[in-house]
Structure 1
Amino acid sequence: MSAATPQEAVTWWNLPNQLTLSRFGMAVLLFVLISYQFWACCLIVFVVAAITDWLDGYLARRWKMGTALGRNLDPLADKVLNCGAFIFLLPLGQAGGWLLPWMVAVIVLRELIITSLRSFMETAGSKFGADWLGKIKMVLQCAALVAIFILLTPHEPSPTWTAVYWLTVVLVYGTVITTLLSGVQYLWRAVTLFGTAPGT
């Protein structure tokens, strides 16, 4: 594939942004599939969505197609997809019964608070992008959801599936812990940046 021209690089309707926007559609499809408990289809849709999450960022950097719209839509699409999946899984009593309401509340509230904080800080002129702990949190969220969908696909009891079960438990609790830690880290970072801003 040939490199993008300068004109292509500045347009908002470029391939990376199209991939990001497609993730919103895949999120809606995923929620419908969860409602009908089509777990194998859920797994496929979620994995494809996760691939587009990596691919849109890679292409935006590779072809220099980064836009303000893309930088705002990409994390929003991630939050809609992941938080929505956890929310839709919860009332079904799925994921072995240990995906608890407080866990989902922690995940969703953290995302809402940090997203609002990021918008405020960037509006104030401070760079407030994702840090390493936030990226680990995102990876664990995706891994936990993949493990949940694998666990929920029809299968016969076996030692392998027992291992998958406990791996899923570890991933979900790891997600909650890193969600809390990264949220605290972002809040501390915001306080530090705000404290060093001119006029404070």
Structure 2
Amino acid sequence: MNSMSSESTDKQAEVKANPKASIFDGWNAPPNLVTYSRIVLVIIFLVLDVMAGEWGADNLTLRWVAAVLFIIAASTDKIDGWMARKYNQVTEMGKLMDPIADKLLTCGAMIVCSVFGELGWWVTALFLIREIGITVMRFFVMERPGGKVIAAAWPGKLKTVFQCVGLSMLLLPMWTLDNSATTPMWLTGYYFLTYTIIYVALVLCLYSGGVYLYNTFVAPKKAEQ
């Protein structure tokens, strides 16, 4: 009985000595400001992409601009993380908002593409189920005693790379570069490669989701045994 009481006291002392960091600690750190800027850029991209219409039929110029903005937003993904590590400004807010910014960019682009008939809804639906589910679980993990945001693992990061490359290729209106009456072989190959990359990203998406579930719920229990 005394040992149990002593163990409980030790745990309470440990919690007091190492209080859980607030999610808002360091919210205005420069890396987080970069992340917020990327979110604003995502919103601008989505507005322009919708205004451009299906395959850029309503405004081809806006489609080109939207595609370039998507590429810029996707390319700057690593800047905030690099800044946080280099200047020792890694925060819980940053670990949460960085993947959310990525999901807003990629999932938003996929939804618009599916609405326009440029990408199958089944692909977008599977991505959304995984992304929304993992995001909700991140909040769930944070609310647990001693819970911390689990950073993205390498399969998830690789998924993001393939997803961004595939969507960039899909958004670029490459068909406008050829005025021939029939579809040229290079254009057929281009879109075949585009969709292949997106499907590879989908496989990585589902796999990385399983890895996250394992690391969140299974691995900790095994470590306690």
Task: Please indicate, yes or no, whether the TM-score normalized by the shorter chain is above 0.5.
Answer: yes
What pairs up with 1:22-61 in 2 under 5 angstroms? 22-37=37-52, 38-61=62-85
Q: Which moved more, 1:81-90 or 1:62-71?
A: 62-71
Q: Could you give the per-residue CA deviations for residues 102-150 of structure 1, whole angstroms, max 9, x where no partner exists?
A: 1111001101111122232343335622111111111111111111112
Match of 2:103 among 70, 76, 79: 79
Q: Could you give the per-residue CA deviations for residues 86-115 of structure 1, whole angstroms, max 9, x where no partner exists?
A: 111111112xxxx21111110011011111
Where structure 2 has 5 or more consecutive residues not aligned to the other structure, the ranges are 1-24, 53-61
Shift of 1:191: 2.9
The alignment's C-alpha RMSD in Å is 2.2
The change in CA–CA distance for 1:14 and 1:188 in structure 2 (over 3 A counts) is closer
TM-score, normalised to structure 1's length?
Answer: 0.82
Match of 1:91 among 99, 104, 115: 115
Specify the code of the residue in structure 2 equivalent to 1:18: L
The change in CA–CA distance for 1:191 and 1:68 in structure 2 (over 3 A counts) is closer
Higher relative contact order (CA 8 A, sep 6+): 1
1:195 paired with 2:210, answer: no
The change in CA–CA distance for 1:153 and 1:12 in structure 2 (over 3 A counts) is farther
Distance across 1 between alignment mates of 2:151 and 2:26:
23
TM-score, normalised to structure 2's length?
Answer: 0.74
User: Larger Rg: 1 or 2?
Assistant: 2
What pairs up with 1:48-197 in 2 under 5 angstroms? 48-94=72-118, 99-124=119-144, 125=146, 128-151=150-173, 154-156=176-178, 157-196=183-222
Shift of 1:171: 0.9
Distance across 2 between alignment mates of 1:79 and 1:196:
30
Distance across 1 between alignment mates of 2:71 and 2:175:
14
Query: Partner residue of 1:14?
Result: 29
CA contact (8 A) 2:175 2:187 kept: no
Q: Could you give the per-residue CA deviations for residues 141-182 of structure 1, whole angstroms, max 9, x where no partner exists?
A: 111111111255622143332221111011111121111111
Where structure 1 has 5 or more consecutive residues not aligned to the other structure, the ranges are 1-9
What percentage of aligned pairs have identical amino acids? 33
